[in-house]
Chains A and B, each alone.
Chain A
Amino acid sequence: MKNKYYLKLTGKYLLRMVTLLIAVSIISFLLVSMSPVDPVQQYVGAVPNVSMEQRAKIAEYWGLNDPPVERFFAWGRSVLQGDFGVSLIYRRPVLDIIKEKFVTSLALMAAAWLFSGIIGFTVGCVMGAFHGKGPDKVLKKVCLIMCSIPTFWIGIVFLMVFSVKLGWFPMGMSVPKGVPTDQVTILQRIHHLILPALTLSFLSFANVALHTREKLVDVLESEYVMFAKARGESKWSILKRHGLRNIMLPAVTMQFGSFSELFGGSVLAENVFSYPGLGAAASAAGMGSDVPLLLGITLFSALFVFVGNMLANIIYGVVDPQIREGYRNE
């Protein structure tokens, strides 16, 4: 019975993932082939003396003269075999680049994710607990303002204040200049990570806090909390026993559902800090008309967001007894 349910769930997710990835690849391929940028010109680039015949040969070799549908299937076939092509700007296989960059980006995104989750949740709880009083009003205004601040601008401001003026943090990059990769210490890496991670968490932090506040206010106005008050429970014990438990779940779902914004924000944050991650690679691929890399990153980012949403649903199912029972009775 239980196994059957899990099997059904896994099947459902697999099916959804496959249809999503197919659709994303069709759409992104369509968009890329609509582009007026000439791929041969991009590839040849600054190299002079490339004759028309040679260009025609490259186009022929790449199959650029075939109709788009045929090209799509040719691309799709090689992607299924794990071959995403060779990046034009890095001149290396796309999959290798994505792997390498993602590891760098993951450190940044994970730091920002944890930071915005933990601090945002705490601030949200404080606001909810002081609902309608001084601290709540001030913090709420601050959060609303923070929601309107663009990621790239706050990154620049951080750089100006903490790197240029105060000199506490380096001016960007993920490792110090002129040091071989194997000699970089973990402390140096963390030192380079702090500002970009703060920047990236800035926007979602306020969102999480406001969302948590809203939920906590709802819970604290409920009748069971009133009953708890009537029983003489202290404010802290009400918050601990009734508040936190009830707002934990939506917060977790929201946190896992924020993978899309996290990835989008990392594109901007990594550009400001010249952080060599996947986000910076995405915009570099777009700027340099690196079609294979752009397609690869798009597919990968869609997968990343999908995994986030899936984790949110699974955690919800595992943690929330109501939903767990609901699935069984389905």
Chain B
Amino acid sequence: MSDMTAAVSGAQRRRIFVNRRTKTILFAALIFFVILGVYLSGALLSDDLIQADFSKKALKPSLEHPFGTDLLGRDMLVRTVKGLSVSISVGMIASSVSAVIALFVGVAAATGRSWLDHFINWVIDLVMGIPHTVLLILISFACGKGLKGVLIGVAVTHWTGLARIIRSEVLQIGSQQYIGVSKKLGHSSWWITVHHILPHMVPQFIIGLILLFPHAIMHESGLTFLGFGLSPEQPAIGIILSESMKYLSSGMWWLAFFPGLMLVVIVLLFDRLGENMKKILDPYSAHE
């Protein structure tokens, strides 16, 4: 009611009225461009900017170097942005693979035979039964450490939650009347899955994919911090933080503080983006 009066008075005053949905879309777009900006600037900044320069060793944060410099005289801001860019691309690849696995497994569990369903549930319990970090260490060890291990590790450990959600969604849709009608009309179960079930999965899939990002990024940096992930030459937040551990007692707080804070900001941005996409795409949360 109040919305309507607001709209009417808005129209009377010939002002642009922005409703909640538009606001959400604008906000989501803003977050998206911020993340894209961080990613692109990290990917495009040349490596010359983080060349060692011993004349600028261990400087405190200043206007010239907002995040300070490290013991090799490298600008921490550039290193952080480059590290975040690597984190974002690792997160993107790993969570896309993970979400696709979740989609396939979830749909297969819900539409397949009952033994398949039992088996998939058992596998999910199994993956959830080993602590993520331990499983990640194992997989990284199996791949001989490095980027490949992180990508595979994060991709194969994160699909379980989303697969469960998709499975229950598909089961719920499968019991709807129009699916029954479609069956009676003689459509195959494959046809029904593609035409009636998968389109309903699109919002869940996209939201789930975006909400996997924060976990993927945190696990990537955690694994790198432990020494299993990216190699020390690569710029990565985990590397920066584990380096800073060596100089903690010397009071060089900026080495760890800002890079970690930026990681938190990126994780939060992805989380907000996911929640906003939920409001845009999911009709149930749209009317909250």
Q: Across the interface, name the chain B residue whose C-beta is closest to A159.
A: B248
Q: Is the CB of A283 within 8 A of B137?
A: yes
Q: Is the CB of A160 within 8 A of B253?
A: yes
Cα separation A164 to B141 with both chains bound (whole Å): 34
Q: A150 contacts which of B132, B139, B140, B263 (Cβ < 8 Å)? A: B263
Query: Which of A153, A287, A302 has the most C-beta atoms of chain B within 10 angstroms of its own C-beta?
Result: A153
What is the interface residue range for chain A against chain B? 35 or more
Q: A145 contacts which of B122, B139, B141, B264 (Cβ < 8 Å)? A: B264
Using Cβ atoms and an 8 Å threshold, which residues of chain A touch B129?
20, 24, 260, 302, 305-306
Q: A152 contacts which of B125, B134, B225, B271 (Cβ < 8 Å)? A: B225
| A150-B260, A157-B256, A271-B226 given; A35·B137 CB < 8 A | no
Q: Is the CB of A148 within 8 A of B214?
A: yes
B contacts with A: majority SS: helix
Using Cβ atoms and an 8 Å threshold, which residues of chain B touch A305?
128-131
Q: Across the interface, name the chain A residue whose C-beta is closest to B250.
A: A164
Using Cβ atoms and an 8 Å threshold, which residues of chain A touch B122?
19
Q: Is the CB of A298 within 8 A of B257?
A: no
| A36-B144, A37-B141, A287-B227 given; A145·B222 CB < 8 A | no
Q: Is the CB of B141 within 8 A of A150?
A: no
B residues 251-274 touching A (CB-CB < 8 Å): 251, 253, 256-257, 260, 263-264, 267-268, 271
In the complex, what's the smallest C-beta–C-beta distance from A42 to chain B, in angstroms? Answer: 11
A contacts with B: majority SS: helix
A residues 77-130 touching B (CB-CB < 8 Å): none
Cα separation A160 to B257 with both chains bound (whole Å): 9
- B-contacting 9-mer, from A43-51, A57-65, A68-76, A262-270: A262-270
Q: Is the CB of B137 within 8 A of A145?
A: no
| A246 within 8 A of partner (CB) | no
Q: Is the CB of A282 within 8 A of B137?
A: yes
Q: B264 contacts which of A35, A148, A271, A287 (Cβ < 8 Å)? A: A148
| A135 within 8 A of partner (CB) | no
Cα separation A289 to B267 with both chains bound (whole Å): 32
| B116 within 8 A of partner (CB) | no
| B218 within 8 A of partner (CB) | yes
Cα separation A32 to B228 with both chains bound (whole Å): 15
Cα separation A37 to B143 with both chains bound (whole Å): 9
Using Cβ atoms and an 8 Å threshold, which residues of chain A touch B144?
35-37
Cα separation A8 to B205 with both chains bound (whole Å): 39
Q: Is the CB of A286 within 8 A of B228?
A: yes
A154-173 CB mask vs B (1 if < 8 Å, else 0) is 00110110001100000100
| A35-B141, A157-B260, A164-B249 given; A287·B228 CB < 8 A | yes
| A152-B225, A268-B222 given; A28·B138 CB < 8 A | yes
Q: Is the CB of B130 within 8 A of A31?
A: no
Q: Across the interface, name the chain A residue whose C-beta is closest to B137.
A: A286
| A34 within 8 A of partner (CB) | yes
| A261 within 8 A of partner (CB) | yes
In the complex, what's the smallest C-beta–C-beta distance from A137 to chain B, in angstroms? Answer: 15
Using Cβ atoms and an 8 Å threshold, which residues of chain A touch B130?
24, 260, 298, 301-302, 305
Using Cβ atoms and an 8 Å threshold, which residues of chain B touch A19?
122
Q: Is the CB of A264 within 8 A of B264?
A: no
In the complex, what's the smallest C-beta–C-beta distance from B267 to chain A, in angstroms? Answer: 4
In the complex, what's the smallest C-beta–C-beta distance from A116 to chain B, in angstroms? Answer: 16
Cα separation A34 to B225 with both chains bound (whole Å): 23
In the complex, what's the smallest C-beta–C-beta distance from B159 to chain A, in angstroms? Answer: 16
In the complex, what's the smallest C-beta–C-beta distance from B142 to chain A, in angstroms? Answer: 4
A125-155 CB mask vs B (1 if < 8 Å, else 0) is 0000000000000000000110111111100
Cα separation A298 to B140 with both chains bound (whole Å): 14
6 examples of A-B residue contacts, CB within 8 angstroms: A32-B142, A145-B264, A148-B218, A171-B248, A267-B131, A286-B141
A sample of 8 more A-B contacts (CB under 8 A), given A31-B142, A305-B131, is A144-B271, A150-B218, A153-B256, A156-B241, A260-B128, A286-B137, A294-B138, A298-B134
Task: Please name the 10 residue pairs, one residue from A and one from B, whose CB atoms are nearest each other, closest first.
Answer: A153-B260, A264-B133, A31-B142, A264-B131, A263-B131, A148-B267, A36-B144, A286-B137, A34-B142, A267-B133
